[in-house]
């Protein structure tokens, strides 16, 4: 069967992929602010378990990341992307059951964990496949642009999905929210079927994922440290607002996403033009300032500005570092290498569970006092989300000083 979009230009196909990703990723984004509310509110469990429910997605991502890259390299990115979108829909449908089992909190929670693991598997496949697919469409010389477009679609989904998820949760509950979420990636699958795929590559020698990972370990560490701030926003921004009796928690992800997408649209090609690592260093400083604004915000406006600045700072790091990864690995290993780089983001997001264990003592304002009335000092500990950008910037600087081979 000939694809109806086979004769379209490379730019059109890149835009088309981005639109499909935006619509499909609403499934993930809608669930992000409502999962902690469902766990802590409806199920009556602690903030630690709320953080676990958010962060468990990325356990599946880490465990399957190597295979996703290899599948995208050898089996074709289109097939891997469609499998990933199917996991989005399946995970949302499993999570939907939680809204029907709220009378049994323990069972509901572990059903939710199962659904989140399936979604995490989908995130893995979709993220690697669409980046690989886009680079194959446009060529490696425009890899920074490709990752800018993919990231804009992802975080545009976050910007729209946060308030949409909260609105659906308020009106239809958790089950209704997940039902809507399940439909969106199915639409995405239909859209991908119209787009011609790119054949997988074969090579005489296929090194192990761990050997490829060793080549890009510093790049993965940069991305992982950078992602800690976003992981904390995704897991605890809504709980922070709830604790402070502030309204509009869903717009925290919107503020982050607007900042993120704005940079990708206006300056998406900047890493290709002036150097990836230089852009990343400045961006990490901006992210750190944004995180500190959130931690010490006396009112919602400061928190929203902080989330916006965090998005501005996070945005150029991923495509910038990714451009360096694409430059140093052979073409037939690009998907595998991009998988290893994205693994860094997944590792940082797993920290949301650890942050949840400490949320009672301050992160995002969830404060509790010791018997002697002294504050836990959580605001100082919470700054780890921002200060993690400092070692990430130092790693960028170390790579900037390494001459090309």
Dump pLDDT digits (tens) for 156-197: 887 788 889 989 999 999 999 999 999 999 999 999 998 887
- The per-residue pLDDT for range 332-373, each reduced to its tens digit, is 555 555 554 454 444 444 444 444 444 443 443 344 333 333
Using only C-alpha atoms, the chain has a radius of gyration, in whole angstroms, of 20
| Mean pLDDT of the 287-295 span | 84
Does residue 23 register a pLDDT over 70? yes
pLDDT band at residue 111 using 50, 70 and 90 as cut-offs: very high
Of the given ranges (94-108, 112-126, 183-197), which has the lowest mean pLDDT? 94-108
Q: What is the pLDDT of residue 376?
A: 35
375: β partners: 369
Please name the helix (run of DSSP H) or strand (run of DSSP E) that holds residue 374, with its range, or none.
none
- The per-residue pLDDT for range 365-377, each reduced to its tens digit, is 344 333 333 333 3
> Which span out of 63-72, 176-185, 252-261 was modeled with the highest average pLDDT?
176-185
pLDDT band at residue 117 using 50, 70 and 90 as cut-offs: very high
Of the candidates 193, 201, 260, 167, which has an alpha carbon nearest to the alpha carbon of residue 72? 201
Helix axes 334-349, 57-75, angle to 10 degrees: 180
Q: What is the pLDDT of residue 329?
A: 65
Q: What is the pLDDT of residue 387?
A: 57
All residues at 6 or more sequence positions from 189 whose CB lies less than 8 Å from its CB, including other chains: 82, 85, 86, 89
Q: What is the pLDDT of residue 26?
A: 93
| Mean pLDDT of the 209-222 span | 66
Yes or no: say if 188 and 85 are a contact pair by the CB < 8 Å rule: yes
- The per-residue pLDDT for range 222-249, each reduced to its tens digit, is 777 777 777 777 666 777 787 778 888 7
What three-state secondary structure class fits 148?
helix
Q: What is the pLDDT of residue 67?
A: 67
Sketch out the chain's domains with CATH numbers: 12-197+207-400 (1.20.1250.20)
User: What distance in Å separates the CA atoms of residue 362 and residue 373, rounded to the nearest whole number?
Assistant: 14
What three-state secondary structure class fits 48?
helix
All residues at 6 or more sequence positions from 135 whose CB lies less than 8 Å from its CB, including other chains: 142, 143, 146, 326, 334
Q: What is the pLDDT of residue 206?
A: 60
Percent of the chain residues topping a pLDDT of 90: 17
Q: What is the pLDDT of residue 90?
A: 95
Q: What is the pLDDT of residue 400?
A: 59
């Amino acid at each position: 069967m000939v694809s109806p979009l086979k004769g379209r230009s490379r730019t059109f196909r890149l835009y088309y992929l981005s639109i499909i990703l935006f619509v499909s990723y609403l499934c993930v984004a809608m669930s992000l602010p409502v999962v902690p509310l469902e766990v802590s509110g409806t199920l009556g469990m602690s903030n630690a378990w709320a953080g676990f429910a958010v962060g468990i997605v990325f356990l599946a991502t880490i465990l399957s990341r190597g295979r996703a890259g290899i599948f995208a390299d050898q089996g074709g990115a289109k097939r891997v992307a469609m499998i990933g979108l199917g996991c989005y829909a399946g995970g949302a449908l499993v999570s939907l059951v939680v809204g029907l089992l709220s009378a049994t909190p323990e069972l509901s929670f572990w059903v939710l964990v199962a659904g989140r693991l399936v979604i995490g598997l989908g995130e893995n496949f979709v993220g690697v496949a669409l980046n690989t697919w886009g680079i194959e469409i446009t060529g490696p010389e425009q890899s920074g642009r490709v990752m800018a477009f993919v990231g804009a679609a992802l975080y545009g989904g976050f910007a729209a999905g946060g308030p949409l998820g909260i609105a659906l949760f308020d009106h239809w509950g958790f089950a209704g929210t997940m039902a809507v979420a399940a439909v969106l990636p199915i639409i995405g699958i239909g859209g991908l079927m119209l787009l011609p795929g790119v054949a997988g590559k074969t090579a005489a020698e296929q090194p192990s994922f761990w050997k490829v990972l060793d080549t890009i370990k510093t790049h993965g560490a940069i991305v992982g440290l950078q992602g800690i701030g976003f992981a904390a926003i995704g897991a605890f921004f809504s709980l922070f607002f709830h604790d402070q009796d502030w309204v509009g928690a869903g717009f925290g992800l919107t503020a982050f996403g607007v900042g993120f997408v704005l940079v990708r649209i206006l300056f998406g090609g900047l890493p290709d033009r002036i150097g990836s690592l230089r852009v990343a260093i400045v961006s990490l400083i901006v992210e750190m300032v944004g995180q500190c604004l959130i931690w010490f915000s006396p009112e919602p406006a400061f928190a929203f500005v902080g989330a916006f600045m965090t998005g501005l700072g996070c945005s150029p790091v991923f495509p910038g570092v990714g451009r360096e990864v694409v430059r140093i690995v052979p073409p037939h290993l690009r998907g595998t290498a991009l998988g290893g780089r994205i693994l860094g983001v997944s590792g940082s997001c797993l920290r949301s569970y650890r942050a949840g264990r400490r949320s009672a003592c301050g992160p995002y304002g969830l404060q509790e006092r010791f018997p002697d009335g002294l504050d836990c000092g959580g605001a100082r500990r919470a700054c780890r989300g921002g200060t993690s950008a400092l070692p990430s910037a130092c790693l960028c600087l170390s790579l900037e000083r390494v001459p090309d081979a």
